[in-house]
């Protein structure tokens, strides 16, 4: 079997699957159950400073978006950082780490944006013998109104400043958790890197309101006739997270900076995609809250089986492999041509491909041939957009087939060149002259 042991910043774990800082990692009982189920590590739910207790709502804390089959697609959370006593958490962290020395145990932290506050809490965490800390610069609700969480993560200067404080006052590895509630994720990542962070983790949750109750006219979840924005997570945010991870992995200023990937990871395939885009570990929350801790068994076995099939011996064979293939639009090859093909043996004659193409695309799929309900691609009209592939309910019924070099594109009447030109030098590219110079 493939070796999926992880070594992230010198923090070793039996696999790269960690639980993210969230309700599932709020106490020793949960974390012990997670480790027994097979999770490689956890990020303990965010601790705050000693002082006035954090008070959560005693009512609904979650909102949701479901698919047609009631499958959870998006999850909204208005819960705050831990409301348990700081010293109780620290005691439990120390005991759990001693019970499970082979697992990664990171402690998430959020205190006011003052050096003394960070200087005070860091030695307390060090004493637990935890493997590292994660700076929570991402929480978009509750704490951000108090000048913490995403209120810090949205200001690169603050990110760099706090990271510098932490690197000065602790020997532990520092992971900086970034907020997606920002225009350009590279800017806080660069700031964290400049401050000396050992790694970044992303994404934290996205600011959201998932629904409005149309009887009470209040956002959901509703607390005594009022609602608020919360943090959105789950499978729906995975595409956003993948893009942001890739942006950091390929940015010249942060290239090589270790990344812990977070955002909608539900299966081993999701995890493999994050690893391929540069993540060294992955953090999971919503999937565990939906299906329980034992979902990690499928993730571990699935990743191992896939690596065996593909001949990947270790995680290093995967991490970052897709990054060189992520590019900007202007570098895509406009001489690469594909056409849709419909497998008539698989086609169930539902007509979704035809109506989608006819109404909203390029009128490239016939609906009736010689009086018979029949769907076929008109190659001279097909632009290869693959809308039909995405709306077809039958897997692999419609596929995109590249035209071979020398073959004529009947739509344009042009022959596909054997030597594909890069869009950088294409005469239709307005930047071609600039690129050439």
What secondary structure does DSSP assign to 370-428, as a single string?
A: TTEEEEEE-TTT-----HHHHH-SSTTSEEEEEPPTT-EETTTTEEPPSSPPPGGG-TT
Backbone angles phi, psi at 7, to 5 degrees: -130, 95
Residue 13 pairs in a beta bridge with 6
Report the candidate in 76, 80, 77, 103 with the shortest Cα–Cα distance to residue 26: 80
Contact 288/295 with Cβ under 8 angstroms?
A: yes
Structure tokens at 381: 């009209």
Following CA atoms 371, 373, 376, 382 in sequence, which dihedral angle do they give, to the nearest 10 degrees?
90
Contact 331/422 with Cβ under 8 angstroms?
A: yes
Report the candidate in 118, 104, 134, 100 with the shortest Cα–Cα distance to residue 259: 134
Contact 176/200 with Cβ under 8 angstroms?
A: yes
What secondary structure does DSSP assign to 186-245, as a single string?
A: HHHHHHHHHHT-SEEEE--PEEE--EEETTTTEEES-BTTB---EEEESGGGHHHHHHHH
CA distances (Å), 274 to each of 198, 217, 317, in order? 19, 39, 13
Structure tokens at 225: 């006739």
Q: In whole angstroms, what is the distance from residue 382 CA to residue 386 CA?
A: 9
353 in catalytic set: no
Q: Which of 139, 166, 233, 397 is catalytic?
A: 139
Contact 17/271 with Cβ under 8 angstroms?
A: yes
Structure tokens at 270: 């999701």
Report the candidate in 237, 236, 235 with the shortest Cα–Cα distance to residue 295: 235
What are the catalytic residues? 139
């Amino acid at each position: 079997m493939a070796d999926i042991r992880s070594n992230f910043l010198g923090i070793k774990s039996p696999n790269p699957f960690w639980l993210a800082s969230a309700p599932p990692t709020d106490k020793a009982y949960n974390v012990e159950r997670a480790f027994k189920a097979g999770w490689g590590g956890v990020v303990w739910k965010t601790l705050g400073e000693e002082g006035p207790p954090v008070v959560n709502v005693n009512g609904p804390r979650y909102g949701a978006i479901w698919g047609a089959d009631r499958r959870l697609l998006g999850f909204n959370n208005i819960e705050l950082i831990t409301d348990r006593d700081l010293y109780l958490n620290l005691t439990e962290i120390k005991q759990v780490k001693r019970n499970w020395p082979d697992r990664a145990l990171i402690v998430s932290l959020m205190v006011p944006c003052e050096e003394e506050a960070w200087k005070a809490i860091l030695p307390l965490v060090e004493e637990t013998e935890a493997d590292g800390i994660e700076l929570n610069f991402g929480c978009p609700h509750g704490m951000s109104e108090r000048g913490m969480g995403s209120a810090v993560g949205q200001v690169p200067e603050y990110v760099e400043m706090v990271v510098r404080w932490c690197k000065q006052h602790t020997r532990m590895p520092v992971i900086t958790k970034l907020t997606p509630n920002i225009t350009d994720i590279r800017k806080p990542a660069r700031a964290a890197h400049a401050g000396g962070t050992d790694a970044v983790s992303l994404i934290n949750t996205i600011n959201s309101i998932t629904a409005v109750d149309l009887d009470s006219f209040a956002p959901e979840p509703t607390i005594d006739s009022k609602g608020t924005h919360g943090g959105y997570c789950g499978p729906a945010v995975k595409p956003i997270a993948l893009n942001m991870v890739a942006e950091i992995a390929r940015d010249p200023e942060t290239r090589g900076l270790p990344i812990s990937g977070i955002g909608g990871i539900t299966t081993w395939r999701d995890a493999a995609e994050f690893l391929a885009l540069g993540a060294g570990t992955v953090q999971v929350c919503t999937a565990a809250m939906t299906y329980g801790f034992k979902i990690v068994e499928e993730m571990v076995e699935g990743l191992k089986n896939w690596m065996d099939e593909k001949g990947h011996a270790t995680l290093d064979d995967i991490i970052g492999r897709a990054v060189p293939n992520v590019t900007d639009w202007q570098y895509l090859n406009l001489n690469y041509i594909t056409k849709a093909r419909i497998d008539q043996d698989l086609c169930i004659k539902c007509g979704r491909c035809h109506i989608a193409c006819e109404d909203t695309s390029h009128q490239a799929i016939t609906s009736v041939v010689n009086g018979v309900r029949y769907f076929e691609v008109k190659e001279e009209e097909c632009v290869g957009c693959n809308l039909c592939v995405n709306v077809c309910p039958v897997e692999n019924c419609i596929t995109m087939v590249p035209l071979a070099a020398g073959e004529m594109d009947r739509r344009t009447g042009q022959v596909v060149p054997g030597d594909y030109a890069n869009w950088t030098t294409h005469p239709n590219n307005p930047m071609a002259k600039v690129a050439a110079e």
